[in-house]
Amino acid sequence: MSIVRVRSFFFVLKAAVFLASLVLPAGASAQGFSQPSFIRDAEIENYLFDLAAPIYRAARIDPRSISISIVQSSVANAFVAEGMNEFFYTGLLQLTDTPEQLAGVIAHETGHISGGHLIRGKEEMRNASAEALLGTLLAVAAGVASGSSDVAAASAAGGMQIAERGFLRFSRAQEASADVAAGRFLDEAGISSRGMVEFFRKLEGQEMLPEDRQEEYVRTHPLTQDRVDALKRHLETSRAKDAKLPEKFYVMHERMKAKLMGFLQPETALLRYTDNDKRLSARYARAIALYRTGKVDRALALTDALIAQEPSNPFFYELKAQVQFENGRIEEAIANYRKAVELLPDSALLHQAYGHALLEGANGSKNSVRIDLAIQNLIEANRLEPRVPMTWRFLASAWGRKAELSKDGRYAAMATYALAEEAVSSGNDKAAGQLADRAMKGLPKGSTYWLRAQDIKLSTVPEGEGRDSKK
Ligand SMILES: [Zn+2]
């Protein structure tokens, strides 16, 4: 698991002007707004995808066209934005007790997508990662909500709450229509909407609380007694009323919650999941919490026991590799990342982590072989998931080292091209265009990377400088 902070501020100001035709006080966002952090984790993302896929299909949406992102925040919230992006806050994931409850939230958010209740970004962000998109939206929202740098700063300190209240809030009519759609999707997917009713009942009564004590989800998705009553009526007549999800979803849900707490609230996790708790999820949470609090040897011992119990679970090898990598034990980390990649070859994140470890471990006699293997894995990571700025950064570094070793100038140009891709993925079009232009000069004309660099250059031309003629 890793925490990714979205960088780059300059496009935030540009986006603000585009989105709301507002005059943002100069520097307000840039100085006062703290960019959100995202959780990237192959295991949790796989679980969310497996749970959500039948719901998307019921909504006649190709599951591969939706991007699910996890925002690190103690508040409970979820919402959708333009470009088929669904965002789930860790606070919300931790608030759900069962996969059915989480499926209810996913179905409701998908109802907003199919109803077209999307938060609009700007055209220039279409190539950016979902994380960069949300970073921009929230920064803009901070400016929208406040109009003053003081309030923007307060909103950053308050966990983005002010930002979302006005900007991300849906109307009651939209809520009702998303609920109706959600019930239909769950029925068709064969998932009981009991979880959706349970989750909304959990939040029921919050409407009576002062705003600052409500869960954020209640503020962005106004909850009324009418809504809860309608959901209950739907459940009573639903053909999937008593359907039960396969056991593996309960296992995955429990592990997700254990992992999030171990990683994000390690001190609490060590109290919650005691030594006497022999459940696998409890030992998993402890292993992660021990590593997060610097007790490396105990963390590794617990992880080894987990591996012994489930020797073909890629995520246990990944955890072991991460602990070793972060503690300078690169050779062991490489071996365990290799094992994780072998067990789960279609994970972009595992290929990225393995490639990064190989790069760190490339020295002496292993230099050349390791760099080539790193490049191979990073290219595979990009094929599986094309818009991850960090993967492009590692690849730029790998190609840069290849250039040093081989004295072949094409690799230096490829490194520049990779930096252009990193800039595009971060929503930094201006830098991307300049880097792509520079890369093209060193690449053989008409070659694959030359063509891709040309695509970037053409697609990042500022408005009024010929973009329309290139469409
Ligand atoms: Zn809603």
Structural domain containing residue 459: 312-470
Distance between Cα 113 and ligand 1 center (Å): 10
The pLDDT value given to residue 272: 96
Question: Does residue 422 belong to any structural domain of this protein?
Answer: yes
Residues of the chain where predicted confidence (pLDDT) is lower than 70: 6-35, 83, 118-128, 133, 136-169, 205-214, 462-471
Distance between Cα 433 and ligand 1 center (Å): 38
Q: How far is CA 435 from CA 65, 233, 398, 416, in A?
A: 28, 57, 17, 6
Orientation of helix 314-326 relative to helix 296-309, angle to 10° = 160
Distance between Cα 88 and ligand 1 center (Å): 13
Whether 55 contacts 165, CB under 8 Å: no
Question: Does residue 445 belong to any structural domain of this protein?
Answer: yes
Distance between Cα 277 and ligand 1 center (Å): 37
> In terms of DSSP bridges, do strands 67-72 and 85-89 run parallel, antiparallel, or are they unpaired?
parallel
Distance between Cα 351 and ligand 1 center (Å): 35
Distance between Cα 408 and ligand 1 center (Å): 54
Distance between Cα 376 and ligand 1 center (Å): 42
Question: Does residue 128 belong to any structural domain of this protein?
Answer: yes
Distance between Cα 49 and ligand 1 center (Å): 20
Distance between Cα 176 and ligand 1 center (Å): 8
Distance between Cα 279 and ligand 1 center (Å): 35
The burial class, CB within 10 Å (0-12 / 13-18 / 19+), for 247 is: exposed
Question: Measuring CA to CA, which residue among 70, 38, 192 is closest to residue 79?
Answer: 70
Q: How far is CA 115 from CA 57, 187, 377, in A?
A: 15, 18, 39
| Domain harbouring 378, CATH code | 1.25.40.10
Distance between Cα 117 and ligand 1 center (Å): 9
Distance between Cα 112 and ligand 1 center (Å): 7
DSSP state of 25: P
Q: Are residues 377 and 392 in the same domain?
A: yes
* Through-space distance between the first and last CA atoms of the chain, rounded to whole angstroms: 39
DSSP H helical ranges for 190-313 = 194-203, 216-220, 225-237, 247-264, 266-272, 280-292, 296-309
Question: Does residue 105 belong to any structural domain of this protein?
Answer: yes
Distance between Cα 214 and ligand 1 center (Å): 15
Q: In angstroms, rounded to a whole number, what is the distance separating the alpha carbons of residues 291 and 297? A: 8
Distance between Cα 177 and ligand 1 center (Å): 9
Q: Token match 């992660």: residue? A: 288
3-state secondary structure of 3: strand
Counted domains in the chain:
3
Supply angle C-alpha 461, 467, 471, rounded to 5: 130
Q: Are residues 303 and 322 in the same domain?
A: no
Q: Are residues 283 and 196 in the same domain?
A: no
Whether 145 contacts 156, CB under 8 Å: no
**Long-range contacts, stretch 224-230, CB < 8 angstroms, 24+ apart:** 224/172, 224/175, 226/176, 227/175, 227/176, 227/179, 227/200, 228/197, 228/200, 228/201, 228/204, 230/176, 230/179, 230/180
Q: Are residues 380 and 454 in the same domain?
A: yes
Which tokens go with 417? 């091209």
pLDDT by residue (tens digit) across 71-92? 888 888 887 877 688 889 999 9
Q: How far is CA 421 from CA 2, 355, 393, 424, 448, in A?
A: 21, 17, 9, 5, 14
Q: Are residues 136 and 183 in the same domain?
A: yes
Question: Does residue 443 belong to any structural domain of this protein?
Answer: yes
Among residues 192, 221, 237, the one where a domain terminates is 237
Q: Are residues 165 and 17 in the same domain?
A: yes
Among residues 291, 311, 331, the one where a domain terminates is 311
The pLDDT value given to residue 83: 64
Whether 453 contacts 434, CB under 8 Å: no
Distance between Cα 127 and ligand 1 center (Å): 26
Question: Does residue 195 belong to any structural domain of this protein?
Answer: yes
Question: Does residue 158 belong to any structural domain of this protein?
Answer: yes
Which tokens go with 253? 């849900």
3-state secondary structure of 463: coil
Distance between Cα 80 and ligand 1 center (Å): 9
Q: Are residues 286 and 318 in the same domain?
A: no
Which tokens go with 211? 């705003």
The pLDDT value given to residue 205: 64
Question: Does residue 365 belong to any structural domain of this protein?
Answer: yes
CB proximity list for 69: less than 8 A, separation 6 or greater: 38, 85, 86, 87, 88, 130, 131, 134
The pLDDT value given to residue 137: 66
Distance between Cα 170 and ligand 1 center (Å): 6
Distance between Cα 206 and ligand 1 center (Å): 15
Q: Are residues 227 and 86 in the same domain?
A: yes
Q: Are residues 300 and 158 in the same domain?
A: no
Question: Measuring CA to CA, which residue among 349, 422, 379, 376 is closest to residue 368?
Answer: 376
Q: Are residues 217 and 340 in the same domain?
A: no
Distance between Cα 141 and ligand 1 center (Å): 18
Q: Are residues 107 and 182 in the same domain?
A: yes
pTM of the model: 0.85
Q: Are residues 230 and 100 in the same domain?
A: yes
